[in-house]
């Protein structure tokens, strides 16, 4: 079978819950259009209640859409629901594993539910890949939170899906386990698996994702390659290290100033209105003796805040 160009395609996707069917503003999703290319690591970001989990639940077959079309690996979820679901593995936010099973038993049961023949199951391979071999025969209730999360990833991969959705996979996971998990995710992507990631750790999305979509109040407010998204803001920051740490931020011309915890002074300016030379001149005019300086470009957090919190909206949205 010829591989599709896109792993997931959503067009005009709406979800309105029955109690609010006559009130479009209450819709959880309001006409989502998203294209997730095959082989990418795609970030799906947004504040709580933006509609991310609703979108993922529709992909997983747990929530029925109200309107629109969705194709997973080229298969329409209405016309070929079984094939569409077989093409995707979903790691939900909530840990869902039978505490009286062992990890090995959990994976065997999950593989059986997907109809994977015994001779084609990858239980031991997945346990080893996720660092669970030494806990393979322990009860799930004896595992740490991080181990349970890794088990959830293994369960999502038992049927070898070409698309893997990770919904807040590192929530509550320590730094070392987070690093191990991302190493495995990157290796899967290098093998051709398309990764869809939601996370509140914006530095993770910035470092891992090829493309990022930002969802707010049920709508896509941005969907661009990560590098292009970071160029949306025309602001830069000059960080000045003074001869002696400052106790408070002085007034510097017309620029916004922020005092860093180490006593450095951060001066924010719009690139269309000023340059570093002008900022430096105003810093000196404010009486700050400059020992060193550096510039910083906007990060994903700056872009995220500008797109999701700039315009307040009082209309209620279903989470």
Q: What is the DSSP string of 125-173?
A: HHHHHTT-GGGTTS-GGGS-HHHHHHHHHHHHTTT--SEEEEESTTTT-
- Rounded to 5°, the CA angle 246-247-251 comes to 75
- What pLDDT score was predicted for residue 208? 92
Helix axes 145-156, 103-113, angle to 10 degrees: 30
User: Is residue 121 domain-shared with residue 248, that is, in the same domain?
Assistant: no
- What pLDDT score was predicted for residue 273? 81
User: Is residue 80 domain-shared with residue 6, that is, in the same domain?
Assistant: yes
The answer to whether the CB of 45 falls within 8 A of the CB of 205 is yes
- The upper half-sphere exposure of residue 311, i.e. CA atoms within 13 Å in the direction of its Cβ, equals 5
- Cα-only R_g, the chain: 24
User: Is residue 221 domain-shared with residue 316, that is, in the same domain?
Assistant: yes
Rounded Cα distance between 130 and 156, Å, is 12
Residue 208 lies in a domain: yes
Element (H, E) at 268: strand 265-270
Q: Which residues pair with 72 in a beta bridge?
A: 8, 75
Residue 92 lies in a domain: no
Tell me the average pLDDT across 149-155.
Answer: 90
- What pLDDT score was predicted for residue 270? 83
The answer to whether the CB of 118 falls within 8 A of the CB of 193 is no
User: Is residue 270 domain-shared with residue 141, that is, in the same domain?
Assistant: no
Angstrom distances, CA of residue 312 to CA of 107, 109, 118, 218, 307: 45, 47, 54, 14, 11
Report pLDDT digits (tens) over 185-233.
899 999 999 999 998 888 888 889 999 999 998 999 999 999 888 777 6
Instruction: Tokens for 1, please give them.
Output: 């079978």
User: Is residue 80 domain-shared with residue 137, that is, in the same domain?
Assistant: no
Least confident of 16-25, 179-188, 270-279: 16-25
pLDDT at 100 over 90: no
User: Is residue 77 domain-shared with residue 212, that is, in the same domain?
Assistant: yes
- Number of domains into which the chain is organized: 3
Q: How confident is the model at residue 312 (pLDDT cuts 50, 70, 90)?
A: very low
User: Is residue 32 domain-shared with residue 65, that is, in the same domain?
Assistant: yes
Q: Which residues pair with 197 in a beta bridge?
A: 43, 166
Residue 290 lies in a domain: yes
Structural domain span for residue 140:
98-160
Least confident of 33-42, 207-216, 265-274: 265-274
Q: Which residues pair with 237 in a beta bridge?
A: 268, 296
The answer to whether the CB of 28 falls within 8 A of the CB of 218 is yes
- What pLDDT score was predicted for residue 232? 73
Rounded Cα distance between 259 and 245, Å, is 10
Report pLDDT digits (tens) over 51-80.
999 999 999 999 999 999 999 999 999 999
Tell me the average pLDDT across 251-279.
Answer: 89
Instruction: Tokens for 174, please give them.
Output: 């320590």
pLDDT at 265 over 90: yes
Least confident of 79-93, 120-134, 267-281, 293-307: 293-307
Tell me the average pLDDT across 252-279.
Answer: 89
- What pLDDT score was predicted for residue 117? 94
User: Is residue 223 domain-shared with residue 270, that is, in the same domain?
Assistant: no
């Amino acid at each position: 079978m010829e591989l599709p160009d896109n792993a997931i395609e959503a067009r005009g996707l709406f979800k309105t819950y029955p109690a609010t069917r006559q009130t479009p503003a209450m819709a959880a999703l309001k006409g989502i259009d998203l294209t997730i290319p095959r082989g990418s690591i795609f970030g799906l970001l947004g504040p709580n209640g933006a509609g991310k989990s609703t979108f993922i639940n529709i992909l997983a077959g747990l929530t029925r859409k109200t309107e629109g079309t969705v194709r997973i690996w080229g298969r329409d979820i209405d016309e070929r629901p079984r094939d569409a679901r077989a093409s995707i593995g979903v790691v939900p936010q909530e840990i869902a594993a039978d505490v009286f099973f062992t990890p090995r038993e959990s994976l065997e049961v999950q593989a059986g539910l997907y109809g994977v023949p015994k001779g084609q199951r990858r239980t031991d391979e997945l346990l080893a890949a996720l660092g669970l071999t030494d806990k393979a025969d322990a009860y799930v209730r004896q595992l740490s939170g991080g181990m349970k999360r890794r088990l959830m990833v293994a369960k999502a991969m038992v049927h070898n899906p070409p698309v893997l959705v990770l919904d807040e996979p590192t929530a509550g996971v320590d730094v070392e386990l987070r690093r191990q998990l991302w190493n495995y995710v990157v290796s899967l992507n290098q093998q051709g698996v398309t990764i869809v990631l939601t996370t509140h750790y914006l530095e993770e999305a910035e470092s891992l994702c090829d493309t990022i979509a930002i969802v707010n109040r049920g709508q896509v407010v941005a969907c661009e390659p990560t590098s292009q998204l970071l160029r949306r803001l025309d602001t830069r920051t000059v960080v000045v290290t003074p001869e002696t740490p400052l106790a408070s931020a002085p007034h510097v011309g017309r620029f916004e100033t922020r005092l860093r915890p180490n006593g450095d002074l951060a001066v924010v300016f719009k690139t269309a209105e000023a340059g570093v030379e002008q900022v430096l001149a105003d810093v000196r005019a404010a009486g700050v003796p400059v020992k060193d300086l550096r510039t910083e470009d906007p990060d994903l957090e700056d872009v995220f805040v500008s797109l999701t919190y700039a315009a307040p909206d009082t209309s209620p949205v279903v989470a």
